[in-house]
Amino acid sequence: MITKNISKKNLINFLIIFIIFFLDRISKFIVIYLADKDNNSELFLSKFLNIQLIWNDGIAFGLLSLNKDKSYDILTLFISFIIVIIFFMMTKSEGLKRYSFLMILGGAIGNVFDRIFNKSVPDFLDFHVGNFHWFIFNAADIFISIGVFFVILSELFANKNKNDKKI
């Protein structure tokens, strides 16, 4: 039936996306639950890591935070469009690059889910050294960042190999 038409490769791809989405959802659920239960957004404070819930209505790392509903909806629609483009790029990729796109997709779908249903994305991981704090982020952002890093890396090596073959 329909499962015969789904290849093993596609099944693995969707499973990877689902696992990343699930890990993101469960981490956000736990942090939101604990923050609501204790009525405190500061859940864990240490020398280098704070777990502190904030609601991000912008894009990556709080950039482009918008207060207007229409602007927010347009940004969410634009991000959804980018996800579709990344999906098609993933279908045309192989190896490390494909898995990189899968990480980006899983994380992006997790964040778009929050944008649609919560009107903002819960961020809670705050790494810092002394008074220098990096942007607060979540599990989806980790997968997106790792995926982007490996896409760039695979492109650099692919271009290097193409240049080496020309010589």
Task: Report, as residue numbers or ranges, the catalytic residues.
Answer: 123, 141
128/65 Cα distance (integer angstroms)? 22
Which DSSP symbol is given to 51? E
Side-by-side strand order, sheet with 42-45: 42-45, 49-56, 121-129, 132-133
118/129 Cα distance (integer angstroms)? 31
Distances (CA, A) of 104 to 3, 83, 125, 143, 149: 26, 9, 18, 6, 10
